[in-house]
Structure 1
Amino acid sequence: MSAQGKRIQTRQTGKRIRKQSILKERTGVGWLCRTLAAAFVLLLGLSIWQYVSYTLENRREEQFMAGLQAQAVTARETPSPVLEKPLPEPELPPIEVDFALLQDENPDIIAWIYCPDTEVNYPVLQSGDNRYYLRRGSDGSYRVAGSIFADCRNSVDLSDENVILYGHNMTNGSMFALLPHYAQQEFYEEHPVWYLLTPTANYRAELFAGFVTSTSSLVYSTVQEEADDRPIMVKAWEDSDFRGGPPPEEGERTITLSTCSYEFSDARYVVVGILRELDEP
């Protein structure tokens, strides 16, 4: 072969090698793009499935709770005004609850918690531990939102010095999602009072403190503890995000409402109130 022929052959060989290299590179890039596209579609599909499942679960929970409220809860009628000076009326909660009906369905229902003009209108459950109703509804079935439940250390009739109730901080605003709103003075002024109803007694909860704390806080004790040489509820009042009524006096019972918060690991937002027993109808 002549020298010129060898040069032509060398150039052709070089071109083939470059073409093969480019083809391999393009093939690799194409595979990577296809893989990333498939992963994106998979993640998108999973996200849509999770969103739809969460939305449907919330809708089922809302329908279930609306049905339960319709069956067991009725608003009290406001007495008609009279011209004569009326006799003093006993102070009653704004709702009535049929506990016989509720406990026939589930004996673990021990109370009802209510805050006027909010989403809070729920049965209170209690089990032998503080995990059972985290993801169970009042009918015992699986529920993402779980239930409002009393601390397992509380007595069944909730006659302790400090009643402790837990509820999830749900993104749809249900359960105890409103508790962190008490960091704003205006929200407290709009909703300063809750009601706790039980089969044996009804209570008005006059809120006096709301703040972020940890799960090791002494507010999670069923008796009135002391911290820094003063009652824990006085310290709670001092640490409160809003300025409400005075802290409880000695002998007054309290209620602690708790939900998740996210300022640090195991953070909780708690709202605390004084329990005042209401008159019998």
Structure 2
Amino acid sequence: MKKAAKFIVRIIDHMVNLTALLLILMVMFLSCYMLWDSNQVYQAADARNYEAYIPTEKNTKSFEELRKINPDILGWIRVNETNINYPLLQAEDDDTYMNTDAEGNYSLSGAIFLHCVNNPDFSDFNTMIYGHHMEKHKMFGDVGMFTDKTYFDEHPYGNLFFDGKDHGVEFYALIQADAYNERIFTVCPDDPDAKQEYLQEIEKNVLNKRELTLTQEDHLVLLITCTSEMTNGRNILVGRLTDQVYPEKEKPKNLGTGIDKLKEKMTQVPMICWLILLIIVLLIIDVKMRKRGKKKHENN
């Protein structure tokens, strides 16, 4: 009876261990898949994916090649010294590029797009440009950084490429507004009173601004993205088009460290390889634990 009882106990013990191992593997697999899936979204949103297509007034060949892939591309937007450096698109509605990338492929990160009602030549008094707020400095994630006064002061310029040439953008303010603020999110009619009311509405919602006077003769550019700092909130970086072009500062060369290079190489290894390695390690640990348990049982 004792041997039978011990045998049953061993079977139950092995079953419990196996069940626990399977549960651990399932949780690890799910976690790894979620990390992999999230990483895929961030990779799809990386501005570096489009570096080969960045246009200049002297050379737009690559840009035109991108337009052949997707004719909805009308220009390019850059905020100097940030990671905002993307193709600019416009569709017949504002839903298309919420989950479609610049090449026309389905993507949760979407694309940077012009409000469907705005004129693509930026002739409106206020032109609205939308992009998802994303972590890791993707899409319009860096717009949220302008809520910091120091960061805002250190990043006054941007660039808009359209109609075959570059145009400067001089940023005036970072405002926070409710998504249902119809006055802010409506294309302003070509009327002096309406323009003045629009400028006043900007002032009402200012978080940070610089000493710069906006007039009814200006053409405003609004970079709009979500914020969690208020219910239905939007961070809006407000600038004005200028005839002057503001080149980016030369980025310092980062030689990196041994740790940086190791980290870069590790991130290049597919997630499935790490998962397989983890499973192998867990199986080895389980085998060793079983052998140790067996030896203890034999000694007893």
Report if TM-score (shorter chain) is over 0.5.
yes
Q: What are structure 2's unaligned runs of at least 5 residues?
A: 1-11, 246-300
Cα separation, 2, equivalents of 1:260 and 1:60: 19
Shift of 1:49: 0.8
Match of 1:143 among 88, 107, 132: 107
Tell me the number of residue pairs that the alignment of Structure 1 and Structure 2 aligns.
229
Instruction: Indicate the larger mover: 48-57 or 175-184.
Output: 48-57
Q: Could you list the runs of 5+ residues in structure 1 that have no partner in the other structure?
A: 1-26, 77-94
Q: Which residue identity lines up with residue 30 of structure 2 in the other structure?
A: L
Q: Per-residue deviation at 1:134?
A: 0.9
**Equivalent residue for 1:275, pick from 241, 250, 253:** 241
**Structure index of larger Rg:** 1
Q: Which residue of 2 aligns with 1:89?
A: none
Identity percentage over the alignment? Answer: 23
Query: Who is 2:134 aligned against?
Result: 170
Structure 1 equivalent of residue 51 of structure 2: 69
1:182-211 deviation per Cα after TM superposition (whole angstroms, max 9, x unaligned):
111111121111111102553222111112
Match of 1:179 among 112, 132, 143: 143
CA distance in 2 between partners of 1:222 and 1:100 (Å): 29
Q: 2:124, 2:188 within 8 Å by CA — same for their partners in 1?
A: yes
Deviation (angstroms), 1:244: 0.8
Residues 43 and 267 of structure 1: CA distance in aligned 2, closer, same or farther (over 3 Å):
farther
2:43 corresponds to which of 41, 47, 59? 59
Query: Which structure shows the bigger proportion of residues in helix conformation?
Result: 2
- CA shift in 2, pair 1:253/1:61, >3 Å: closer
Per the normalisation by structure 2, the TM-score is 0.66
* Counterpart for residue 80 of structure 2: 116
CA RMSD of aligned residues (A): 3.3
Specify the SS of the correspondent of 1:242: strand
Which of 187, 210, 223 aligns to 1:244? It is: 210
Corresponding position of 1:220: 185
SS at 1:248 equivalent: coil
Kindly tell me: are residues 96 and 251 of structure 1, through their superposed partners in 2, closer, same or farther at Cα, counting changes over 3 Å? Answer: farther
Secondary structure at the aligned position of 2:153 is classed as helix
| Residues 192-207 of structure 1 aligned to structure 2 (within 5 Å) | 192-207=156-171
* Secondary structure in 2 matching 1:213: strand
1:238 to partner: Cα distance: 4.8
CA contact (8 A) 1:234 1:247 kept: no
Q: Distance in 2 between matches of 1:256 and 1:172?
A: 22
Distance 1:117 1:100, change over 3 A: same
Q: 1:160 deviation in Å?
A: 1.5
TM-score (norm 1): 0.70
CA displacement at 1:241 relative to structure 2? 1.7
